[in-house]
Structure 1
């Protein structure tokens, strides 16, 4: 089938380009016949709405075929060119599980979509199916890829999804994420009406190929086979008839978890294979200092006396880096550093094997080829077949680009001081357990650093915990100094946030998230080899994440606690989890974030290449200087300020067309960004965390509806995506709302607590922020309550949650 064109449209999703078929008025003497409204669908001419698995047609590696990926000679574009948001989709093995999308319709003049029908049950029906070439269903394994094989079930309108009119289109809005790696067929039915009450009709192309008639061209016959397989599969149980169908399209959701699962398996294999390095935490002998002294060296005083009872140590651990190392100093120089497979895709291997026959090399041709075969039970090879080596469910072993010596921050209770604090609190004295101190892994937020998590160590020490923390990649002590001049060229803690959350290359942003989760897996395993002198119980490990640390946590927890081997599982196990101010649906909440949204939108507009993009670039160099010039040295602050000023300016001037064009750019970016980020997004791991039964606590600042704002960094809910934000993530992890003191339970429980007071970073600092609206007393109260809740919850391993100050929480 001819490769179809794909363009970005101004709506709730990427859509097919082109205007569909041309309809002529059929004139009768009395009365005139009004042309029918139709579904836009003409693949041969580039008219196709997405998500649509027709863009998998002809795939050589199991990824989407996006126009522009191959040159005239059929050679793949360079890794750097996948920085283009549209081309980035060509690195994926499917579509986003959570992004709203739309199916375009064509209307004659004076006719529009009946909005009531578009929002009613039955106009759109969605069926989960098994497609051909299935990796999990043997009945469908030998059916050709792209052909529908088996009906699984129908999704429920109002529970799994809703629909609504969106201009000349019907929008489909998930209420639950689709299952990663699973396939679905979207169906439009005759219940979808136009403004005259007539059923929308299929396009002439769809009407032709959905019949059993004999067609002429190979392209027509191929499309007919595909569409007939869709309709035959979904009508198999009689729940819908072919006469009801005006359009059908399959969509396979991209995989999530296989790559991190493979990383865990490789880490586990390192225990027996000398060729794979095993992470091991090293803590050298060093003078005893306290966290209080560390804070004092930073000019922070007036702390709780408990911080003088927290010992501070520095160690290190060698971890595999799957992100590449940039050679230049510009953000654009990161564009090719996203993860790469160490092997050829299984799709490419199978294709070559079928073609080569007896000439296929059954014995390894290199050391890497042998490693690929050994780690994949022979499914993967390195035969030079796969130019791009994109990581997918068909190619899940990432290539180690380097080994990083990662600094580790360790804290432990100093008993005489901590027991003195406990006595003042009416608590009994602690003694170090025979197996050593239980450990809490701490993970900081974006633009922060591991040292900021020391704020939690007093409460955790009071409860008898040691802690271990590392920086995210491109943060803190893990910045990159390209030219070795002593100044980091890439460091989100001290420089641009784009060093990590790279909006110029979405695949790099995705793999920054996955690298954080992989680093935590390595740290968790490496704790086991620290040695007895460290006095750490590495069989009893919990986790606390703040902001970005909460975002990468579900992927880490899902991989760490997934059963692998009874002897290995305790080396990765996480007992209990506490998450502060996290959220899912990253692209959606970033665009709507009061803190990061203007910078994200401004950065996207600058790179859009539109007339408004050029105008905004000029505005930053001229008009913005008057109000934003003082921020010029800080790119993030200057773009944020400039974008706000620019949008306010054209809004005051009544430039509605420009505003609509800008909104279109953001919508296009949002669809592409969420699709590219999906395999690193916590939404796709929430159900796995819930299924594993890992006890999870989460706090969210929802505000008080008056002076105290809701979280201004990660919104509790988003306007454009009902499953993005903090509270939807909590729901997907099956957390129970708690707002009053909880009774200890025999079985561990999971909770979400909604705070009316405080702000995004209240878990770490009692200081108020001017933007949040909280007073100093309210902020301090929120901090004290959050830290106490986290410490007591982890101390009970999820069997008890202390809520002592109900004035700062709500139902």
Structure 2
């Protein structure tokens, strides 16, 4: 953005007044003038509160323009440099749907924000609008990009959002996610007061450009046009006047579905297009092996005899990998492995065409590079997969960020992924059903066993989900499972020495939830969802006729429950009646999931200290250096026992460091550290949004897919709530497990439901147990038994009934 030069001449004159008063008399009798508090807004000098679409101005590729993202020649930083959390925002086509944000205010000495006005309705108003250059509204398509065009409605204070004072700022806290891809205008009004009871004033810059005063430079005129368009749109509804407005700023929420939606289309197209490999689940002939024997080989004994009635098999499926391989063994080597577009952004192409045309009009044809529009190897695919809208021009759009304009990801490799399969062994299962459970005997249905796809949690592996297979086999289900990327058998061995260099199951959680490169963390989440789409399609092409691949359900635990809404929403969204059944998932069970990933990670009792400690170490502040020294010195005495495990060591040391600052009265330092965490939460959640379940929950609800979810909420006494993914978070009311359940439309129940004529969706809150109780009886055997019973009965009735037997450990 060009520097905008503004000057404001202020003149004052004092005239003699009647009564013989002198100038000195006037000075003595006039009370001192206290300057007004003003909203901070001076884009020319980098003073702007985010989110704000002014950072989309002059975009090269349809993404946000982050300061210093481009050099003086307009060349972008390297892909690896987008690991910086601030720069990572420059890879996005908009802002977060859910993270709290603030508008900063400048106050004179001894004046502050009136907290009651900051938290009152009317001080901040949010309007949903359509912006110029719309892809969906014909009336606004011809309006310049970045300008407000059409008013759609106003959000409701206390229902959609709340506000409160936050130091020298007013914080805006969403209570519901903003709509992905939609635009909003935030308006601060004269109802916002300072501690003297005066209305906050616009900044001099905003005051100038919001008027019709003739301005001089192109940048001044452009800003004036944008601000006036905002005010014209919001006042068009007649509920607010321009005199009420002290600030307005637009924000466009990033797209979250186009890329995964494109992957589903590519998978579907692979059924007919030989250029696109089709996933196929292959299960070779193998000796009979039971899950009981698998557990015994791992030293696990004393299990239910039902595990002897579950057959265990290994197969494989070849899936497209959109993550590239690292070239080194350090976490930093993962920085540029995030997803990349196959094609050039059409925004970048238009910009290049406009630049070339400008040179022609200026008579500088000799400065035009004729090779800019030379096509690359992906040109046929880009053209064929986009109805000829996209191109592969290798010299245009080198970064290839994926956006709503450019949604086709580049396949980096095809990976053969191990698949775990289980099936009921009828003689054993029927003995248990008839002799122990009083149930009738099973027969394999004519179409084969219905299938449950299972997905494990972070730092876990697919084999851990075998704990569910006995209860599912008793109900007549087969199961299939794969590892998440960079987990279990899918670790990354950089130098092919047989030892994984990156594996979240056996090494650092950062291999998957990468805090050093948030774009990698986001795309690990998206890869998990994409893999499940590929697995679901591949089941239809299996060589095993004992599986009914038209009757598929899903169970996700922890991370498996986190990625589930993205997977299920895409799988069940209609595409074409000829392929919809090949992706359909009929019933879903989720255990210990949650949304608002950045917020719940920071507040997680288990992961929070490690996450916060890692963020502080990377922040580059004086406190960062002090904490690094603390790790080498003071922390050793109490945390040295964890010295061989970085995650455990930092998790131990960080709370001790914060406690030492608190005891020493170092309030300034703790405030700075909290500021680092707030900034990280904003950047991290914004980057992770397109992989966050919160943004898919309402779509899943609208599709009508029946969903069961359990959450450990504790009893308020000795039994704690989930210590990994908290049910609720302090700093973000949208984050946590319970809000995700609400957004998915689940009804909280504590007694048996049904059988009903139609499927229903339920949330069950457990007062006992822990994060992994659905798999392990360690925290409470009663909870494990009850959770598994609930899941099995819900899935076997396809969501029409839910059995709750132990009502003493659940609550409404």
CA distance in 1, matches of 2:116, 2:259: 43
Task: Find the counterpart in structure 1 of residue 287 from structure 2.
Answer: 287
Task: Find the counterpart in structure 2 of residue 801 from structure 1.
Answer: 802
Give the drift of 1:72.
Answer: 2.6
Give the drift of 1:25.
Answer: 12
Task: Find the counterpart in structure 2 of residue 13 from structure 1.
Answer: none
Give the drift of 1:376.
Answer: 1.0
Give the drift of 1:33.
Answer: 2.0
CA distance in 2, matches of 1:621, 1:105: 40
Give the drift of 1:24.
Answer: 12
Task: Find the counterpart in structure 2 of residue 709 from structure 1.
Answer: 720
Q: Conserved in 1, the CA contact under 8 Å of 2:375 and 2:391? A: no
Asked if 1:158 corresponds to 2:158, the answer is yes
Task: Find the counterpart in structure 1 of residue 793 from structure 2.
Answer: 792
Give the drift of 1:22.
Answer: 13
Asked if 1:181 corresponds to 2:191, the answer is no
List runs of 5+ in structure 1 lacking aligned partners: 5-19, 769-778
Task: Find the counterpart in structure 2 of residue 590 from structure 1.
Answer: 601
Task: Find the counterpart in structure 2 of residue 9 from structure 1.
Answer: none
CA distance in 2, matches of 1:473, 1:23: 62
Task: Find the counterpart in structure 1 of residue 244 from structure 2.
Answer: 244
Q: How has the CA–CA distance of structure 1 residues 21 and 660 changed in structure 2, closer, same or farther, with 3 Å as cutoff?
A: farther
Give the drift of 1:144.
Answer: 1.3
Q: Conserved in 2, the CA contact under 8 Å of 1:3 and 1:55? A: no
Choose which of 674, 684, 687 in structure 2 pairs with 1:663: 674
Asked if 1:602 corresponds to 2:613, the answer is yes
Task: Find the counterpart in structure 1 of residue 340 from structure 2.
Answer: 340
Matches within 5 A, 1:109-124: 109-124=109-124
Give the drift of 1:219.
Answer: 1.1
Task: Find the counterpart in structure 2 of residue 495 from structure 1.
Answer: 507
Q: How has the CA–CA distance of structure 1 residues 115 and 699 changed in structure 2, closer, same or farther, with 3 Å as cutoff?
A: same
Deviation per CA, 1:7-42, whole angstroms, max 9, x where unpaired?
A: xxxxxxxxxxxxx99999999541222211111111
Asked if 1:316 corresponds to 2:316, the answer is yes
Q: Conserved in 2, the CA contact under 8 Å of 1:25 and 1:34? A: no
CA distance in 2, matches of 1:167, 1:58: 32
Deviation per CA, 1:158-192, whole angstroms, max 9, x where unpaired?
A: 00000011111111000000001100000001111
CA distance in 2, matches of 1:142, 1:155: 26
Q: Secondary structure at the match of 2:164?
A: strand
Give the drift of 1:325.
Answer: 0.4
Choose which of 369, 373, 376 in structure 1 pairs with 2:386: 376
Task: Find the counterpart in structure 2 of residue 307 from structure 1.
Answer: 307
Matches within 5 A, 1:283-682: 283-353=283-353, 365-384=375-394, 385-423=396-434, 424-531=436-543, 533-682=544-693
Q: Secondary structure at the match of 2:158?
A: coil
CA distance in 1, matches of 2:754, 2:525: 36
Q: Secondary structure at the match of 2:238?
A: coil
Q: Conserved in 1, the CA contact under 8 Å of 2:3 and 2:45? A: no
Asked if 1:737 corresponds to 2:748, the answer is yes
Q: Conserved in 2, the CA contact under 8 Å of 1:372 and 1:378? A: yes
CA distance in 1, matches of 2:774, 2:3: 51
Task: Find the counterpart in structure 2 of residue 16 from structure 1.
Answer: none
CA distance in 2, matches of 1:648, 1:353: 58
Give the drift of 1:420.
Answer: 1.0
Q: Conserved in 2, the CA contact under 8 Å of 1:21 and 1:42? A: no
Give the drift of 1:327.
Answer: 0.9
Q: Conserved in 1, the CA contact under 8 Å of 2:486 and 2:502? A: yes
Q: TM-score, length-normalised on structure 2?
A: 0.95
Task: Find the counterpart in structure 1 of residue 774 from structure 2.
Answer: 763
Deviation per CA, 1:299-354, whole angstroms, max 9, x where unpaired?
A: 00010111000000000010000011011000000000000000011212333455
Task: Find the counterpart in structure 2 of residue 771 from structure 1.
Answer: none
Give the drift of 1:554.
Answer: 0.3
Give the drift of 1:498.
Answer: 0.4
Give the drift of 1:132.
Answer: 0.8
Q: Secondary structure at the match of 1:178?
A: coil
Q: TM-score, length-normalised on structure 1?
A: 0.95
Q: Conserved in 1, the CA contact under 8 Å of 2:314 and 2:420? A: yes
CA distance in 1, matches of 2:382, 2:81: 27
Q: Conserved in 2, the CA contact under 8 Å of 1:317 and 1:526? A: yes
Q: Secondary structure at the match of 1:529?
A: coil
Q: Conserved in 1, the CA contact under 8 Å of 2:746 and 2:763? A: yes
CA distance in 1, matches of 2:351, 2:699: 33
Asked if 1:74 corresponds to 2:74, the answer is yes
Q: Secondary structure at the match of 1:552?
A: helix
CA distance in 2, matches of 1:383, 1:21: 47
Give the drift of 1:465.
Answer: 0.4
Task: Find the counterpart in structure 2 of residue 775 from structure 1.
Answer: none
Shifted more, 35-44 versus 68-77: the winner is: 68-77
CA distance in 2, matches of 1:737, 1:127: 32
Q: How has the CA–CA distance of structure 1 residues 209 and 485 changed in structure 2, closer, same or farther, with 3 Å as cutoff?
A: same
CA distance in 2, matches of 1:469, 1:534: 18
CA distance in 1, matches of 2:84, 2:681: 13
Give the drift of 1:542.
Answer: 0.5
CA distance in 1, matches of 2:151, 2:185: 10
Q: Secondary structure at the match of 1:340?
A: coil
Task: Find the counterpart in structure 2 of residue 134 from structure 1.
Answer: 134
Q: How has the CA–CA distance of structure 1 residues 637 and 42 changed in structure 2, closer, same or farther, with 3 Å as cutoff?
A: same
Task: Find the counterpart in structure 2 of residue 199 from structure 1.
Answer: 199
Shifted more, 643-652 versus 186-195: the winner is: 643-652
Give the drift of 1:534.
Answer: 4.0
CA distance in 2, matches of 1:647, 1:76: 38
Task: Find the counterpart in structure 2 of residue 749 from structure 1.
Answer: 760
Q: How has the CA–CA distance of structure 1 residues 364 and 81 changed in structure 2, closer, same or farther, with 3 Å as cutoff?
A: closer
Q: Secondary structure at the match of 1:274?
A: coil
Q: Secondary structure at the match of 1:289?
A: coil
Q: How has the CA–CA distance of structure 1 residues 765 and 22 changed in structure 2, closer, same or farther, with 3 Å as cutoff?
A: farther
CA distance in 2, matches of 1:131, 1:521: 33
Give the drift of 1:639.
Answer: 1.0
Shifted more, 355-364 versus 592-601: the winner is: 355-364
CA distance in 1, matches of 2:615, 2:371: 47
Give the drift of 1:365.
Answer: 3.7
Deviation per CA, 1:593-646, whole angstroms, max 9, x where unpaired?
A: 000000001111111111111111111111111111111111111111111221
Matches within 5 A, 1:21-40: 29-40=29-40
CA distance in 1, matches of 2:193, 2:792: 56
Give the drift of 1:363.
Answer: 11
CA distance in 1, matches of 2:626, 2:374: 57
Q: Secondary structure at the match of 1:250?
A: strand
Extract structure 1 runs of 4+ deviating beyond 4 A: 20-29, 353-364
